[in-house]
Structure 1
């Protein structure tokens, strides 16, 4: 009886915790979107002080950072999970990766400013911000890739190798397709973090934006929406309604993150269900 009561109490507490999290999320979205959505007009995007450039820069910097970080991060994770021998050196690499993942983003920002802005002479540019964001993403991508591949049952590898497949064929046709949902989830988390990053981009991409529509020049200034929100609240320009601009920018950021996560999460869920269906067969 006591065990049953303890189980019931634990279940109730877990439900309370889950409902509290959902309630906080709903309150947060209601507050931010309720205050910001009325300001998302055509003037807000295309006016003299519109955020069209910042919106484009947010996705452009995200795209460039993923182009720079995905090949290295996924490759390193695959090597650590499938090819690296188990010794003290690989343990040191894992420890270093985990340590880098816990470094505050502002430290990466200072590093990017010293290396890309000053040493390489790039100045405050989209390229410098993207390269520094890629460094921030790398440790997380390596760990997510390694853990996703290790979650694939060992029997899959053994069955493929027993049928005469090489290690590369096993990796390409068995392991990676099975681990793909986990990899997509990791990329989603990294991308969401990059969309809202501020400290790194203040030090590397700057707080100015090119007024050329959809400027793809990687050496142009690269203020993003998150940086714009910080600038508006910390140093409002005279004659502008900083509160309305900040509320609209915050709402737009929330909508961006939600839509981006949905666009990546739905394919991941579909792949998971498809994989479960294959496993049952």
Structure 2
């Protein structure tokens, strides 16, 4: 077989595989949205489950998912940036840093149920936070931190060496070079890693069953105190997220339209992840243009 024929066959196989993957993804997305749109309306999105007949809405669960996302990112991003910057710019090449990288690889492959049991033991019981949003956010931080650390490290290492050397040659300090030269150039990769971590937060259920709980109090959306038990912003209250709600509705089967509620909640979850990804990428490009000459 001559090289030209081999190249054509390989190209055809690769295009076929790509087409199959895209077809499966679009088919799954179309199936979820088609069945979910039959249930979605304004009342379903904004109302709590107990205020509607036959299953109710998902208002508190949607808010809990977004609040948990924000709280988790507030904890994860500074730690991930610090760890990635240390490994890329300050960590010496020795057995200790090799052990740290190996530990990060092991942690990134842990099953979510194991992270949930760890969170139950440490954050719920030892720390005494109980089933709460804060316990869930800390468990998800353990779950996502290895991913973000590796993404930040690889993004910083991918910056052309000449840019760093040029900055240092001008007498600029190492830390200022990291802030003003390396981080802005590495920002697109860091944004991509943050989006991946956010997607895992939206879709996680197993770890939250043991940390954030499977129920929510009757929230009072006119009370925005951080200490009131029924306040939406109270981080020490239990919180049922959309992913947990979908699992709960399907597993318990206590309502007559469980399938319709699950379909609607699944469609809302997919659309929320989609809109968040689009917004994060737009925001990342805007920040990148502001911090660089692009």
TM-score (norm. length: structure 2): 0.90
The reply to whether residue 92 of structure 1 matches residue 99 of structure 2 is yes
The reply to whether residue 246 of structure 1 matches residue 253 of structure 2 is no
1:120 shift after superposition: 1.9
CA–CA separation in structure 2 for the residues paired with 1:220 and 1:143 = 32
- Equivalent residue for 2:150, pick from 138, 143, 150: 143
RMSD between aligned residues? 1.8
Provide the secondary structure at the position in 1 that maps to 2:67: helix
- Equivalent residue for 1:218, pick from 235, 247, 254: 235
Alignment of 1:1-281 (within 5 A): 2-45=2-45, 46=47, 48=51, 49-214=56-221, 215-238=232-255, 240-268=256-284, 278=294
CA–CA separation in structure 2 for the residues paired with 1:113 and 1:249 = 26
1:43 shift after superposition: 2.9
1:116 shift after superposition: 1.3
TM-aligned CA distance change 1:221 to 1:254, over 3 Å: same
Deviates more, 1:206-215 or 1:27-36: 206-215
Provide the secondary structure at the position in 2 that maps to 1:204: coil
CA–CA separation in structure 1 for the residues paired with 2:112 and 2:120 = 12
Provide the secondary structure at the position in 2 that maps to 1:39: coil
Structure number with greater CO (CA < 8 Å, separation at least 6) is 1
CA–CA separation in structure 2 for the residues paired with 1:71 and 1:244 = 40
Deviates more, 1:181-190 or 1:112-121: 112-121
Structure 2, gaps ≥5 residues long: 222-231
CA contact (8 A) 1:152 1:175 kept: yes
CA contact (8 A) 1:181 1:271 kept: no
CA–CA separation in structure 1 for the residues paired with 2:253 and 2:80 = 39
1:276 shift after superposition: 9.7
CA contact (8 A) 1:53 1:213 kept: no
CA contact (8 A) 2:119 2:139 kept: yes
1:186 shift after superposition: 0.3
CA–CA separation in structure 1 for the residues paired with 2:193 and 2:291 = 18
CA–CA separation in structure 1 for the residues paired with 2:177 and 2:292 = 19
CA contact (8 A) 1:73 1:142 kept: yes
Structure 1, gaps ≥5 residues long: none
CA–CA separation in structure 2 for the residues paired with 1:275 and 1:134 = 28
TM-score (norm. length: structure 1): 0.94
TM-aligned CA distance change 1:68 to 1:270, over 3 Å: closer
